[in-house]
Structure 1
C-alpha cells in the first residue's frame, strides 16, 4: 500500500527531472515550439532581446536626429537607431544565442515614448537556422506588456502572420535594455 501512495510522487519527480535535463541541454523546445494542425503551423517563440547603446561595442547606434534651425530638437521625437541586437534564451547576455534582431527603430511620437519598429529577427538555432520573422509595428516602450505585429518571414516562417508580446526585463539610464519577447506566428502549409 505504501508504494502505491508514492507512485504519483515518483511520476512527478521523474517528469521534473526530464524537464530540467531538457532545459539544461539547450534543446530548442526551451525557446520554440511548433504545432502542425495539417492546414497551418503555429509556432511560439520565447527569447530575450539585448539592446546595448553604451560601451565600446554597442549593438544599437543613433543614425539620425532631427534638427530645427540647426539645433537638435528637444526630447526624442525623430531620433532613429540602427540595431544588430542579440536574441538569447534567457535574460543573461551570456545565455544561449538563438538569433539577431536587425533593423531600425525610431521615436514616432511627440508627447510620449512610442517607437516605430522595422526589424527582422534572424534565427541561428536548430531547425530555425536561416529563418526570419519581420516585425513592423508601434512599440509603446513604457507599457508592459505591449503587443506588436509580425507581418511576414522567410524560411520556416514564409508568409507568417502573428504578433509579439514584449515586456521589459531591465533598462538603465544609458538606454541599455533587455526585453523579453513571446512571439506567436502562423504559416500555411
Structure 2
C-alpha cells in the first residue's frame, strides 16, 4: 500500500531548474491519466460527503470533503487500458476564493 500526499508547487520546480538540476542525468517524463466521473449516477467516481456551510451561496468551499475513486488509465482515452485505481479524499484548504488550495490524501 502506497500512501501519498500530492502537493503542487511550481516554485519548487523553478528553483530546481535555476540551480542546474541534475545536469547530465537522464530525465524521465511520467504521464498520469486519472479519469473522474462527477455524474452522481451509478458510474460516478467522485462523491461529496460533506458540503460547505451555507451551501453553494456562501462564496467558498470551506468544509467540503470529497471522496474519489479514480481510474488510472494507460492513455487520455477513457476506453484505454485500466492500470490501477486511485482512492483519495479531497479537502479544500481555503476559506476565500482568492486563496485557493487543495489537499489530496490517497493511495494507489
Which residue pairs with 2:49 in the alignment? 63
Matches of 1:113 and 1:97, distance apart in 2: 31
Larger relative CO (CA 8 A, sep 6+): 1 or 2? 2
Q: Alignment partner for residue 104 of structure 1, among 83, 89, 93?
A: 89
As a proportion of its length, which structure holds more strand? Answer: 1
Deviations 1:40-93 (A, max 9, x none): xxx9753201122125221000011232xxx33332222110011100011111
Aligned length in residues = 76
In structure 2, the CA distance between the partners of 1:97 and 1:61, relative to structure 1 (3 Å rule), is same
Contact map agreement 2:45 2:70 (CA 8 A) in 1? yes
Unaligned runs of 5+ in 2: 1-27
Whether 1:95 aligns to 2:80 is yes
Which of 61, 68, 75 pairs up with 2:60? 75
1:84-103, Cα deviation, whole Å (9 max, x unpaired)? 11000111111011101102
Residues 93/54 of structure 1: CA separation in 2 closer, same or farther (3 Å cut): same
1:116 aligns with 2:103: yes
C-alpha distance 112-50 of structure 1, shift in aligned 2 (>3 A): farther
CA RMSD of aligned residues (A): 2.0
Q: Distance in 2 between matches of 1:80 and 1:49?
A: 19
With structure 1 as the length reference, what TM-score do the two structures score? 0.36
Which whole-Å CA distance do the structure 1 matches of 2:44 and 2:93 have between them? 22
Q: Is it true that 1:49 corresponds to 2:34 in the alignment?
A: yes
Q: TM-score, normalised by structure 2?
A: 0.60
Gaps of 5+ in 1: 1-42, 122-189
